[in-house]
Amino acid sequence: MFKKLIITCDEATTICDKNQYGAATLLDKIKLNIHFIRCKICMKYTKQNMTLTKIYKGHAKSCKSIVHCMPEKDKEDLKRQLKNYNA
């Protein structure tokens, strides 16, 4: 029974990634925490991964308020260039 709870580092990183998006099951989380007892490298990976996710989410929220549009003049120039290219 206990052998089923032992996972490799590859499996641990996969569960870590799934956990960040809310896709990890309770059993996955238990396996991951058991793995952390014997593998401090995976624990560090998880902490770093969580930190990067928080930083990215904070940056993504601030980017949503910025409108990313091409100016009309540039759009018209691009359309003209495409018509000339296709002709």
Which tens digit of pLDDT belongs to each residue from 1-11? 678 889 999 99
Question: Distance between the two ends of the chain, CA-based, in angstroms?
Answer: 70
Cα separation of 31 and 12, whole Å? 8
Cα separation of 35 and 77, whole Å? 58
pLDDT at residue 63, rounded to an integer:
67
Residue 72: name the closest of 80, 60, 63 by CA. 80
Number of structural domains, the chain? 1
Cα separation of 48 and 30, whole Å? 20
What's the pLDDT tens digit per position in 26-78? 999 999 999 999 999 999 999 999 898 888 887 777 666 777 788 899 999 99
Q: 75: domain range?
A: 2-86
Cα separation of 60 and 54, whole Å? 10
